[in-house]
């Protein structure tokens, strides 16, 4: 064939093929039919139900979609007045967490070589019975969810075994309870966010991770109607422009560790502005001034004056303090917040700080919350690790992950090593499971009866029932039922036979219709009605020495609530919600503003090493002017070694190298870390 | 610019950026509703797939003048969708009452022209085989087909919910083209605990979006391109509205008509 002929043939062939429908039809068919191969999952239809319950992860009322017995997804419960149908990102992950690979499928027993082997429930129960019997008077119990009525079973079981060592994980709630008790308050501290017209939140990221988040945001939705003027002013004081700060009317930068000085200055300025206070508080306030606070906290004094003026002129102001990751600032900041509410006349008022009746125990040997909060796990762990207290013979850990969530300072691993036998009840394989002798598969929140009873941050008594929307998967069992069965085996009478009966007791105590609330998923609410002003004694504050502010760079840890908590790990869908300014190239991102970076000699997107007293970790530096000077912000919740493929190989656990100091007087843990970031 | 096609019903959103905390509840519920396959490592943003993505915006000022705003970005369901005009196999179209830009994944040949043409980066290519490890498949919604590797996918305004709402209206003898606002809501709208997303028919005066889109604070992303997005944003902050388009220093924010009007004065 001649060259010309070949070209003609090639051109003709190309035009012919392009004009022919054959090639396009083939491409279409290929695309169409390949997608019907078995390598994409086929969908399964069936009976389609919507079941109302509540998320045990953060107390969000839910509607769970169940198709053919399978849990499909969760949405907010629009019929629930407490949350107004809102959904938090964590509660949106319930279905995926239910089916996650990290679920513990069968009981696991640690062998002499340190490895784990599956065992039967019969064997596990026999071990539990034997160990509990041997540990008479030397049993400790740690759990994380303080809003569950099942705590009555756990604390009663601990008490019936001759021990008072029942603990919650450290929290803002514990610090506030200790503060309230110290100033002579009775009952539990509550915050009527719904009825306030001016809120000052110091550190408390109440739109994302502090208190009753779904309710707080329902209030925000109500008070900030789209396209209209807001009916509530929000002032947020903290080290970073976080989820609350971005929707607040004003962000007041406050360096970590200076919250006390900031609140003291607000108190002082209010009194200067003719707000009446008793001589005790006036004397206390004289220690603080806005000018000094401006220097120590890094807050603009004019902004602080405007804040004080807003609080003074508001009809229903409310002030509260807390942390972003639900740890603890100690009790002093809470006492100062109480003092500010007191001088503003906002204790036991609509839209103010309220004294809710203490959660009454339902069972005869259950411990009171005020007693439980008087002991703290961090101090207990440190004492055992250091040989200053006798280690218990047996420790039960339920739905808590202290090995991951607490700093090296708490010495949790050393403490666990000194305990004869440790049992971990968990739905998902976590870092604490890997340190325990027996690991038992616990039912997920959608597989069990439970409740959410006046969680911390509430402004009234409220109660929502959780019910199983599906049977426990694998060999998981509800921990409450398991403890009741164990008590029965040991011949202990806790005063209740099963969990629904316990929850019915709660309903009766509240004069609520158990069956109605079980069916509807609605939240029982009791309007706050005790408006008597308590007599509070702020003298204990006088003996407190204000902490000196850190002269170095301070660490600010924060959480991305979509990315789970220490008990859940990172939910499968949450990886997309972790942003490039939280995790990048497998490294935790250290956010800081340009001035801080220049001080440290760092450039944007530079690899570096973050150092604290407790260790170091690699980070990637990113500039963010929403972090105040002399502060480095790092997301907590990364660096898991437990759970599943969606949680591991993602940066480092910043919580491990944070620093804990014990507050003088209360002995409560206070998280505050000086940090250095050096070129990597 | 003329509309691609006129519809009696045009579903759209008004997202109040001053109310968004960037929590990600919308992203999470979107994935669960639409069977978006989870990714082990979504850290590589060039390979991650998001029907709805929340961006962090900055006013680019230094501390303490700095401000942050979060912007949720679904598909804009443009009135003049550039993706539709470039698709060689009609895998994406805007041809149904409601004005939702469809994406028929079985037709998609994965050429990604639509991704290149979309000015909002609202379209994503499936780089990986979809995979629901362990028992995660149990949680797949029966309403939305899963998609294989090699096709483009995007937000559909939860089209399956529109279908259900229309079916219900027809069964009740009601007009499926005059659905009340609450009859059809997207998963992200329902999930947003702050009520930052308002969804409805932009042409229906009984729906809140009808009024809200006319707010002086409302704007659309890159609206001077003429794409006519059906997603509006709202912010009382001028700097946020300016970020919505490539404004020159002397130009004012607002619709193209308003800008022209202001300039002629």
- Is B63 in Cβ contact with A562 (below 8 Å)? no
SS3 B162: helix
How many A-B residue pairs are in contact by the CB < 8 A criterion? 262
- C-alpha span between A373 and A167 (Å, rounded): 8
> Which H/E stretch holds residue A74?
strand A70-76
Lowest mean pLDDT among A222-226, A617-621, A627-631, B257-261: B257-261
Residues of chain A positioned with their CB less than 8 A from the CB of B68:
241, 245-246, 626
pLDDT at B263: 42
pLDDT at A227: 86
| DSSP secondary structure letter of residue A520 | H
Q: Which of A86, A96, A650 sits opposite B32 (nearest CB)?
A: A96
Does the pLDDT value for residue A545 go beyond 80? Answer: no
Residues of chain A positioned with their CB less than 8 A from the CB of B192:
86-87
- Is A85 in Cβ contact with B19 (below 8 Å)? no
**Mean local confidence (pLDDT), A622-647:** 97
Q: Which of B68, B143, B212 sits opposite A227 (nearest CB)?
A: B212
pLDDT (tens digit, 9 = 90+) per residue, A435-493? Answer: 999 999 999 999 999 999 999 999 999 999 999 999 999 999 999 999 999 999 999 99
Give the minimum alpha-carbon distance from B191 to chain A in angstroms, rounded to a whole number.
Answer: 5
- C-alpha span between B198 and A52 (Å, rounded): 24
- C-alpha span between A117 and A109 (Å, rounded): 5
Calculate the average pLDDT of chain A.
94
pLDDT at A276: 83
- Is B109 in Cβ contact with A41 (below 8 Å)? no
pLDDT at A261: 96
Q: Which of A31, A571, A625 sits opposite B63 (nearest CB)?
A: A625
**Mean local confidence (pLDDT), B53-73:** 97
- Is A89 in Cβ contact with B23 (below 8 Å)? yes
Which tokens belong to A549? 């502010």
| Beta-carbon count within 10 A of B262 CB | 12
pLDDT at A551: 80
pLDDT (tens digit, 9 = 90+) per residue, B112-136? Answer: 999 999 999 999 999 888 999 999 9
Which tokens belong to A112? 């002499």
Does the pLDDT value for residue B255 go beyond 80? Answer: no
- Return the residue matching tokens 């009601």: B174
- Is A246 in Cβ contact with B70 (below 8 Å)? yes
Give the minimum alpha-carbon distance from B178 to chain A in angstroms, rounded to a whole number.
Answer: 23
pLDDT at B264: 39
Query: CB of A634 within 8 A of CB of A654?
Result: yes
pLDDT at B265: 35
- Is A244 in Cβ contact with B192 (below 8 Å)? no
- C-alpha span between B131 and B37 (Å, rounded): 6
Does the pLDDT value for residue A37 go beyond 60? Answer: no
- Is A246 in Cβ contact with B196 (below 8 Å)? no
Confidence grade of residue B260 (pLDDT, cut at 50, 70, 90): very low
Lowest mean pLDDT among A32-36, A123-127, A194-198, A638-642: A32-36
Nearest CA in chain B to A214: B193
Q: Report yes or no on B3 lying in a domain.
A: no
Which tokens belong to A578? 């972790």
- C-alpha span between B48 and A650 (Å, rounded): 15
Candidates A42, A87, A558, partner chain B, best to mutate (most B CBs within 10 A): A87
pLDDT at B46: 81
Query: What is the DSSP secondary-structure string of B105-147?
Result: GGG-----HHHHH-TT---EE--S----TTTGGGG--TTS---
Q: Is the ipTM of this complex over 0.85?
A: yes
Candidates A210, A226, A427, A587, partner chain B, best to mutate (most B CBs within 10 A): A226
- C-alpha span between A609 and A621 (Å, rounded): 9
- CA A633 to chain CA centroid, Å, is 18
- Is B31 in Cβ contact with A576 (below 8 Å)? yes
3-state secondary structure labels for all residues of A184-212: CCCCEEEECHHHCCEEEEECCCCCCCCCC
Does the pLDDT value for residue A168 go beyond 70? Answer: yes
- Is B141 in Cβ contact with A207 (below 8 Å)? no
Nearest CA in chain A to B36: A573
- Is A580 in Cβ contact with B187 (below 8 Å)? no
Query: For the stretch A661-679, what's the b/e string if a residue is b when 16 or more beta carbons lie within 10 angstroms of its beta carbon?
Result: ebbeebebbbbbbbbebee
Nearest CA in chain A to B147: A40
Pairing of strands A48-54, B11-16: unpaired
Give the minimum alpha-carbon distance from A566 to chain B in angstroms, rounded to a whole number.
Answer: 18
- Is A31 in Cβ contact with B14 (below 8 Å)? no
How far lies A172's CA from each of A24, A114, A559, A668, B25, in Å? 64, 35, 15, 11, 24
The CATH number corresponding to A48-98 among 3.40.50, 2.20.25, 2.60.40, 2.170.150 equals: 2.20.25
Give the minimum alpha-carbon distance from A645 to chain B in angstroms, rounded to a whole number.
Answer: 6
pLDDT at A34: 64
- Is B61 in Cβ contact with A43 (below 8 Å)? no
Pairing of strands A421-426, A233-238: unpaired
Residues of chain B positioned with their CB less than 8 A from the CB of A626:
58, 63, 66-68
Q: Which of A103, A575, A627 sits opposite B40 (nearest CB)?
A: A575
H helical segments located in chain B: 25-33, 82-86, 113-117, 159-171, 187-191, 208-212, 238-243, 256-264
A96: closest CA among B45, B117, B132?
B132
Q: What is the CATH number of the domain that holds B183?
A: 3.30.70.20
Task: Give domain limits for chain A.
Answer: 3-34, 48-98, 108-171+359-442+477-496, 188-356, 553-679
Does the pLDDT value for residue A532 go beyond 50? Answer: yes
Pairing of strands A233-238, A198-202: parallel
A238: closest CA among A211, A206, A270?
A206
Calculate the average pLDDT of chain B.
92
- Is A71 in Cβ contact with B31 (below 8 Å)? no
- Is B138 in Cβ contact with A99 (below 8 Å)? yes
- At the second CATH level, the architecture of A188-356 is 3-Layer(aba) Sandwich (3.40)
- Is A99 in Cβ contact with B134 (below 8 Å)? yes
- Return the residue matching tokens 């509807």: A520
- Return the residue matching tokens 């009746």: A357
Does the pLDDT value for residue A360 go beyond 60? Answer: yes
pLDDT at A38: 55
Which tokens belong to A278? 């008793």
pLDDT at B262: 42
| Counted domains in chain B | 1
Instruction: List phi, psi (to 5°) of A419.
Output: -90, 135
Residues of chain A positioned with their CB less than 8 A from the CB of B188:
none
Question: Model-level pTM?
Answer: 0.93
Q: Which of A39, A41, A575 sits opposite B39 (nearest CB)?
A: A575
Residues of chain B positioned with their CB less than 8 A from the CB of A77:
none
- Is B142 in Cβ contact with A45 (below 8 Å)? yes
Does the pLDDT value for residue B259 go beyond 60? Answer: no
Please name every residue paired with A631 in a beta bridge, in sequence order, or none if there are none.
Answer: A554
Does the pLDDT value for residue A18 go beyond 90? Answer: no
A258: closest CA among A272, A278, A238?
A238
- CATH fold of the domain at A553-679: Barwin-like endoglucanases (2.40.40)
pLDDT (tens digit, 9 = 90+) per residue, B175-194? Answer: 999 999 999 999 999 999 99
- C-alpha span between B180 and A296 (Å, rounded): 55
Residues of chain B positioned with their CB less than 8 A from the CB of A215:
none
pLDDT at A33: 65
- Is A217 in Cβ contact with B62 (below 8 Å)? no
pLDDT at B3: 59
| DSSP secondary structure letter of residue A428 | B
Does the pLDDT value for residue A1 go beyond 90? Answer: no
Give the minimum alpha-carbon distance from A445 to chain B in angstroms, rounded to a whole number.
Answer: 16
Query: CB of A378 within 8 A of CB of A406?
Result: yes
- Is B21 in Cβ contact with A247 (below 8 Å)? yes
Domain of B198, in residue numbers: 11-264
Does the pLDDT value for residue A252 go beyond 80? Answer: yes
Residues of chain A positioned with their CB less than 8 A from the CB of B56:
579, 581
**Mean local confidence (pLDDT), A634-641:** 96
Instruction: Give the torsion through C-alpha atoms of A281, A282, A287, A289, to 10 deg.
Output: 110
- At the second CATH level, the architecture of A108-171+359-442+477-496 is 3-Layer(aba) Sandwich (3.40)
């Amino acid at each position: 064939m001649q060259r010309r002929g070949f070209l003609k043939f090639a051109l003709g062939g190309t035009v012919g093929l392009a004009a022919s429908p054959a090639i396009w039809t083939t491409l279409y068919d290929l695309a169409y039919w390949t997608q019907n191969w078995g390598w994409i999952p086929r969908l399964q239809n069936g009976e389609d139900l919507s079941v109302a319950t509540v998320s045990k992860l953060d107390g969000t009322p839910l509607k769970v979609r169940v198709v053919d017995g399978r849990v499909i997804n969760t949405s907010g419960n629009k019929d629930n007045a407490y949350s107004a149908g809102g959904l938090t990102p964590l509660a949106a992950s319930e279905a995926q967490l239910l089916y996650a690979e990290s679920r513990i499928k069968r009981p696991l027993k640690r062998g002499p070589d340190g490895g784990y082997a599956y065992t039967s429930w019969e064997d596990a129960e026999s071990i539990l019975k034997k160990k509990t019997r041997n540990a008479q008077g030397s049993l400790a119990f740690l759990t994380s969810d303080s809003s569950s009525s099942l705590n009555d079973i756990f604390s009663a079981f601990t008490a019936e075994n001759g021990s008072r060592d029942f603990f919650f994980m450290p929290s803002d709630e514990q610090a506030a309870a200790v503060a309230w008790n110290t100033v002579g308050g009775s009952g539990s501290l509550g915050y009527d966010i719904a009825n306030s017209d001016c809120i000052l939140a110091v550190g408390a990221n109440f739109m994302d991770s502090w208190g009753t988040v779904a309710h707080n945001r329902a209030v925000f939705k109500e008070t900030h109607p789209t396209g209209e003027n807001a009916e509530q002013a929000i002032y947020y004081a903290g080290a970073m422009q976080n989820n609350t700060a971005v929707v607040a009317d004003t962000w007041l930068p406050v360096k970590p560790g200076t919250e006390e000085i900031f609140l003291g200055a607000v108190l002082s300025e209010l009194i200067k502005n003719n707000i009446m206070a008793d001589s005790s508080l006036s004397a206390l306030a004289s220690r603080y001034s806005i000018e000094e606070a401006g220097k120590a906290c890094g807050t603009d004094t004019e902004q602080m004056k405007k804040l004080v003026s807003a609080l003074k002129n508001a009809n229903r102001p409310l002030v509260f303090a807390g942390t972003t990751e639900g740890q603890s600032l100690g009790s002093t900041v809470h006492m100062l917040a109480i003092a500010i509410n007191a001088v503003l006349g906002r204790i036991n008022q609509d839209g103010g700080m309220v004294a809710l009746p203490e959660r009454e125990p339902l069972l005869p040997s259950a411990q009171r919350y005020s007693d439980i909060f008087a002991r703290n796990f961090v101090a207990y762990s440190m004492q055992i690790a250091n040989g200053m207290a006798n280690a218990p013979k047996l420790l039960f850990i339920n739905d808590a992950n202290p090995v991951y969530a607490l700093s090296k300072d708490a010495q949790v691993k050393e403490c666990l090593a000194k305990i004869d036998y440790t049992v971990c009840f968990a739905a998902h394989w976590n870092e604490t499971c890997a340190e325990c002798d027996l690991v038992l598969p616990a039912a997920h929140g959608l597989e069990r009866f439970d409740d959410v009873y006046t969680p911390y941050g509430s402004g009234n008594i409220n109660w929502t029932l959780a019910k199983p929307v599906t049977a426990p998967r694998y060999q998981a069992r509800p921990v409450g039922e398991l403890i009741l069965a164990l008590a029965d085996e040991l011949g202990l009478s806790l005063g209740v036979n099963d969990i629904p009966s316990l929850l019915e007791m709660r309903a009766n105590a509240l004069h609520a219709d158990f069956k109605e609330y079980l069916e509807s998923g609605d939240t029982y609410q009791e309007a706050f009605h005790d408006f008597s002003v308590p007599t509070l004694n702020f003298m204990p504050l006088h003996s407190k020495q204000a902490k000196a502010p850190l002269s170095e760079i301070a660490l600010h840890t924060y959480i991305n609530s979509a990315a789970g908590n220490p008990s859940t790990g990172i939910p499968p869908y949450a990886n997309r919600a972790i942003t490039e300014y939280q995790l990048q190239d497998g490294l935790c991102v250290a956010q800081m503003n340009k001035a801080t970076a220049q001080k440290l000699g760092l450039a944007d997107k530079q690899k570096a090493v973050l150092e604290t007293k407790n260790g170091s970790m690699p980070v990637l530096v990113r500039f963010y002017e929403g972090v105040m000077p002399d502060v480095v912000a790092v997301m907590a919740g990364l660096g898991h070694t437990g759970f599943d493929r969606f949680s591991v190989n993602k940066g480092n656990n910043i919580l491990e190298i944070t620093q804990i100091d014990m507050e003088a007087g209360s002995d409560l843990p206070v998280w505050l870390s000086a940090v250095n970031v050096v070129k990597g | 610019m003329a509309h691609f096609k006129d519809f009696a019903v045009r579903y759209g959103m008004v997202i109040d950026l001053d109310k968004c905390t960037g929590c990600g509840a919308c992203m999470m519920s979107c994935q669960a509703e639409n069977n978006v396959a989870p990714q082990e490592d979504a850290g590589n943003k060039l390979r991650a797939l998001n029907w709805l993505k929340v961006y962090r915006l900055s006013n680019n000022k230094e501390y303490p003048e700095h401000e942050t705003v979060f912007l949720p970005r679904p598909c804009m369901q443009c009135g003049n969708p550039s993706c539709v005009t470039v698709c060689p196999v009609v895998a994406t179209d805007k041809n149904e009452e409601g004005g939702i830009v469809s994406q028929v994944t079985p037709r998609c040949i994965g050429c990604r022209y639509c991704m290149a043409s979309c000015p909002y980066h609202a379209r994503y290519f499936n780089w990986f085989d979809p995979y629901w490890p362990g028992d995660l498949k149990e949680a797949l919604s029966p309403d939305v087909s899963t998609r294989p590797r090699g096709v483009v996918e995007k937000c559909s305004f939860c089209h399956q919910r529109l279908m259900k709402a229309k079916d219900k209206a027809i069964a009740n003898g009601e007009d499926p083209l005059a659905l009340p606002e609450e009859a059809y809501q997207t998963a992200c709208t329902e999930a947003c605990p702050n009520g930052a997303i308002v969804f409805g028919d932009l042409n229906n005066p009984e729906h809140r979006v009808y009024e809200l889109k006319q707010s002086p604070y409302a704007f659309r992303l890159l609206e001077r391109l003429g794409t006519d997005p059906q997603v509006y944003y709202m912010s009382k902050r001028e700097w946020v509205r300016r970020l919505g388009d490539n404004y020159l220093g002397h130009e004012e924010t607002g619709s193209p008509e308003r800008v022209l009007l202001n300039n002629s004065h």
